[in-house]
Amino acid sequence: VIGIAMEQSGLAAQATGALVGSMQEFGPLTALIVLYGITMVLTELLSNATVAVLVTPIAVALAESLGVSPRPFLVAVMMAGSAAFATPFGYQTNVIVYQMGGYRYMDFVKVGLPLNLITYAVAILAIRTFFPF
């Protein structure tokens, strides 16, 4: 629902324009790091499918504006969109564990946030290594 609202209101298009415009000054690695971070935060708040649909066109536009292959940017969206560890509603199985296990919201943040940061660093290194610009 939030994703549809963002698309229909034009917010998604404005966000794309703002991100692409602001990343022109920086190199592709910085743009990749920022894109991964944005995707990672969004996937903690929205479903991973919604985030993938919203961020994929941004990733392609960003790569094209920098004159590089979109592949590393798309891999970043794929990996960040699947790395929802810090909130109980970031991924479907988290919700089940949250309800059935009697966990609190902060339990996910305490364990999931460090895991997100580790995944973030490893993913950026892997993308740079296996999917060059």
Q: What is the pLDDT of residues 21-30, one digit of tens each?
A: 888 788 999 9
Q: Among 131, 31, 75, 62, which residue's Cα sits nearest to residue 83?
A: 75
Whether the pLDDT of residue 109 is over 90: the answer is: yes
Residue 74 tokens read as 């798309």
Q: How many structural domains are present in the chain?
A: 1
User: In sequence order, what are the residues at sequence separation of 6 or more whose Cβ sits closer than 8 angstroms to the Cβ of residue 9?
Assistant: none
65 neighbors 17 (Cβ within 8 angstroms): no
> Can you tell me the mean pLDDT for 3-16?
75
| Domain of 55, in residue numbers | 2-130
Residue type, 118: I
